């Protein structure tokens, strides 16, 4: 009963409620609710005329875990891996209950699907480049985002920029994924483990693509892998990205930057005048290409050598 009561309290704060920090004494005025997560509720608040996002929770341990992640991002803030952390404190409610909270920079933006509505697939490509850059940096600093989903993405503008907002699932590489959402989870689709590896995030990226490029989320059905293949075929908007997605599903990328590289090649490719476009440089085809070149070099070399031999014999004969 007590727990339910506290949860209700946390998610029903009225406008102009004052949240005063027990340790730092900073006052925040509630404007409205921004969203509700697994371990707390995020409110838009105002502090000295500045808008901030305040996450109020019931479980001190989980709030602390998230703060730890935000703090470690702070150390590489030059690369901007998530919203910056402004304050961490407790609020003692008028009823005497102590609730933990932390305050972040308020990221104001549009949902991904709203932003993409009515725009061409080049915009999806551009935003994906940004996302993969952020993920790549995250991976390089030893983290996996984990709970990557459209709810945790916002497009700020101008200029349009995709931002990661909820870091609750962020996990150190090599550990077990802390938090996930089934639709984006490769384990759920029988496409791999729940170990925090960069490729875990990349799978979630492909699911975001299927969601916004197709018709939203879907059930896994009796044969999850087949369902994925079918949905990919049905999503006509994703046609240019099909080889990229298949590469992720085949586990061909080690981290976000590798996938980004292929996406860059794919987006910058100009339509060729004569033949129909050949698929992107998939990892395998690239390998084949290199093989082909080396074979060609070998051929040229062989011809060259035989010409010289022929010439030498010719010279000897006539000497």
Partner 1 sequence: MKKGTLKQILLLTDGCSNQGEDPVAIAALANNQGITVNVIGIIDDDQSEQPEGLEEVEAIAMSGGGVSQIVYQQALSQTVQMVTKQAMTQTLQGVVNQELKQILGEKKTFEELPPDKRGEVMEVVEDLGETCDLEVLVLVDTSASMTPKLATVKDALFDLSLSLNARSGNNRFSIFSFPDKKAPIHKLMDWTPHLDGISKIFPKLASGGITPTGPAIKEAIYQFGKKGLFGSMKDASEPYEETGF
Closest by CA position to 87, among listed 20, 39, 35 = 20
Report yes or no: 209 and 132 within 8 Å, Cβ to Cβ. no
- What minimum distance in Å lies between the beta carbon of 180 and partner 1? 8
Closest by CA position to 231, among listed 250, 249, 211 = 211
The tokens describing 124, both together, are 């999806």
Transcribe 248-289 into DSSP letters: HHTT--SSHHHHHHHHHHHHHPPPPSSSPPPPP--HHHHHHH
Q: Which is nearer to partner 1, 44 or 177 (CB)?
A: 177
Q: How far apart are CA 287 and CA 247, in angstroms?
A: 14
Q: Which of 59, 89, 134, 147 is catalytic?
A: 147
Number of CB atoms found within 10 A of residue 241's CB: 24
Q: Which is nearer to partner 1, 13 or 67 (CB)?
A: 67
- What minimum distance in Å lies between the beta carbon of 194 and partner 1? 4
Report yes or no: 201 and 135 within 8 Å, Cβ to Cβ. yes
Transcribe 172-191 into DSSP letters: ETTSB-S---GGG-TTTTTS
Q: Which is nearer to partner 1, 98 or 226 (CB)?
A: 98
- What minimum distance in Å lies between the beta carbon of 8 and partner 1? 14
- What minimum distance in Å lies between the beta carbon of 121 and partner 1? 32
**Catalytic status, residue 147:** yes
Number of CB atoms found within 10 A of residue 196's CB: 23
Q: Which is nearer to partner 1, 155 or 207 (CB)?
A: 207
Q: What φ, ψ does residue 168 adopt, rounded to 5°?
A: -55, -30
Q: How far apart are CA 108 and CA 87, in angstroms?
A: 19
Q: Which is nearer to partner 1, 60 or 234 (CB)?
A: 60
- What minimum distance in Å lies between the beta carbon of 108 and partner 1? 26
User: Which residues would be at the binding site for partner 1 (CB under 8 A)?
Assistant: 23, 60-61, 64-65, 67-68, 71, 88-90, 98, 100, 174-177, 182, 187-188, 193-196
Active site residues per annotation: 147
């Amino acid at each position: 009963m007590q727990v339910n009561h506290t949860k209700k309290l946390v998610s029903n704060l009225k406008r102009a409620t004052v949240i005063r920090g027990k340790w730092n004494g900073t006052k925040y005025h509630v404007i409205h609710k921004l969203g509700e997560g697994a371990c707390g509720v995020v409110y838009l608040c105002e502090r000295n005329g500045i808008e901030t996002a305040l996450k109020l929770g019931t479980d001190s341990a989980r709030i602390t875990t998230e703060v730890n992640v935000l703090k470690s991002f702070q150390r590489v803030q030059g690369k901007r891996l998530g919203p910056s952390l402004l304050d961490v404190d407790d609020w003692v409610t008028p009823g005497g209950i102590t609730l933990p909270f932390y305050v972040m920079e308020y990221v104001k933006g549009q949902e991904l699907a709203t932003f993409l509505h009515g725009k061409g697939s080049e915009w999806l490509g551009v935003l994906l480049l940004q996302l993969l850059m952020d993920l790549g940096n995250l991976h390089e600093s030893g983290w996996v985002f984990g709970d990557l989903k459209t709810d945790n993405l916002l497009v700020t503008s101008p200029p349009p920029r995709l931002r990661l907002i909820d870091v609750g699932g962020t996990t150190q590489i090599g550990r077990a994924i802390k938090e996930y959402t089934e639709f984006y989870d490769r384990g759920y689709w029988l496409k791999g483990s729940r170990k925090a590896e960069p490729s875990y995030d990349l799978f979630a990226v492909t699911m975001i693509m299927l969601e916004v490029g197709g018709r939203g989320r879907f059930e896994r059905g009796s044969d999850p892998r087949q369902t994925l293949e079918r949905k990919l075929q049905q999503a006509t908007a994703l046609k240019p990205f099909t080889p990229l997605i298949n590469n992720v599903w085949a586990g061909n990328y080690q981290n976000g930057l590798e996938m980004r590289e292929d996406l860059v090649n794919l987006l910058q490719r100009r339509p060729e005048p004569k033949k129909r476009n050949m698929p992107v440089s998939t990892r395998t085809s690239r390998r084949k290409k290199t093989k082909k070149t080396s074979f060609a070099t070998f051929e040229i070399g062989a011809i060259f050598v035989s010409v010289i031999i022929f010439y030498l014999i010719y010279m000897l004969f006539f000497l």
